[in-house]
Amino acid sequence: MKSKLKGIIWMDELTLFTMALGLSKPWHVVDIRFSKEEGRLDLEIDFSKGAKFPCPSCAEGESEVYDTKDRTWRHLNFFQYETYLHARVPRVRCGRCGIRQVEVPWARPGSGFTLLFEMLVLQLSREMSVAGVAEVTGEQANRIWRILGHYVEQARRRVDLSEFHILGMDEFSLRKGHVYMTSFSDLEASRVIYLGESRRKEVIEEFVEDLRGRGADPAQIDLVCCDMWDPYLHGLRNHVCQAQVVFDRFHIMHQLNKAIEKVRWLEQRENKALKKTRYLWLKNPRNLTREQEDQLEKLKRLDLKTARAYHIKLALARFWELKEPVRAALYLKRWYFWATHSRLKPIIEVAKAIKRYWNGVVSFTTSRITNGVVEGLNSKIKTAMKRAYGFKHVAYLRTIVYLVAGKLCFD
């Protein structure tokens, strides 16, 4: 490639490319091959004759080159030209560590990409799907996944967990409910800190191990907000026993809604007025239209089991407004008596669950925590899963969830 660089002080083009790549001694560009037909630029890099390198393991002394191995790295495009760097990477013989491959300044060990290329991939991945990044860069998706996996894990290790006190746990399902996962979030920082591969009690242990591996102590967790789900409680009792558990009020109301729907479903067989009214009973009364309100009022005047269940739900909804623990506990006791004497089996079941998990329900009065933040994170997770479309491994899902909902910093 002949130098045709007008308008700047003439400089040896090998030196120019050496500078453009930010190389410093002993590394420099020694050859440039440019193919217009292939749309490709190949830059040959070499080290100066007689150069010595420190051992990459112990950084001890400077050693002479023992031998070299040819390597290639994909770099950022120069304009529309796909650019590759080539170099013979030296190995040194260290008195302490033996023979070691020297690290080159433009790439991390073992990667087939330069650092700048990897940074580009990282930036693109925050905005588009991995498939999209693969298309834009002309790289295979699994290579993009590997880059992301590396940097995400590295950034995750750097997250400061010293102020982490409130844990939010939430399950979500994949593949139409065939696979369940559990997200663990720092509710104050509103970031996902771990993704567990099931909703069994073992996920708590996995999470705690991950936490310890990142220099945090499970004993620093004061509060845990989660669903009324025995496996979680068992796991928490074994591994995060000091934390106060608070059951997520939205989850409890959801359980109650499901119970109302069961009651209505059975009752509508005898009472046709209940057909197609599912929505009326489940929706927050404030969100009903005028027409729906009128319809609900009429139904409530009939002597219906569904209406009774509905009133029990409204009464529990009022519990969450109470802020004084003794009064709140009394209120809940009265509610429990009413619910268990309703002769509505699904409602009685929920009431009994609340009785079993009593402390975790009442503790909301003072802690006021909910998984509301997690709900926001869950929508991020759903977006992430769409971006991971076609992902083959749970590791990929983890990577993308941490990238999107982990508030990671890549500097």
Query: Nearest distance from residue 66's CB to Zn ion, in Å?
Result: 12
Which residue number, 67 or 230, has a Cβ lying nearer to Zn ion? Answer: 67
96 in contact with Zn ion (CB under 5 A)? yes
Binding residues for Zn ion, total number by CB under 5 A: 7
Query: Nearest distance from residue 52's CB to Zn ion, in Å?
Result: 13
x-marked contacts with Zn ion along 37-76 as a string, rule CB under 5 A: ------------------x-xx-x----------------
Query: Nearest distance from residue 48's CB to Zn ion, in Å?
Result: 22
x-marked contacts with Zn ion along 244-273 as a string, rule CB under 5 A: ------------------------------
Which residue number, 94 or 404, has a Cβ lying nearer to Zn ion? Answer: 94
Query: Nearest distance from residue 46's CB to Zn ion, in Å?
Result: 24
Which residue number, 55 or 408, has a Cβ lying nearer to Zn ion? Answer: 55
Among 94, 193, 274, 408, binds Zn ion (CB under 5 A): 94
Which residue number, 60 or 293, has a Cβ lying nearer to Zn ion? Answer: 60
Q: Alpha carbon 19 to chain centroid distance?
A: 39
Query: Nearest distance from residue 143's CB to Zn ion, in Å?
Result: 31
Residues 151-180 that bind Zn ion (CB under 5 A): none
Which residue number, 93 or 108, has a Cβ lying nearer to Zn ion? Answer: 93
Which residue number, 54 or 132, has a Cβ lying nearer to Zn ion? Answer: 54
Query: Nearest distance from residue 74's CB to Zn ion, in Å?
Result: 30
Query: Nearest distance from residue 111's CB to Zn ion, in Å?
Result: 22
- The residues of the shown chain that bind Zn ion, judged by CB under 5 A, are 55, 57-58, 60, 94, 96-97
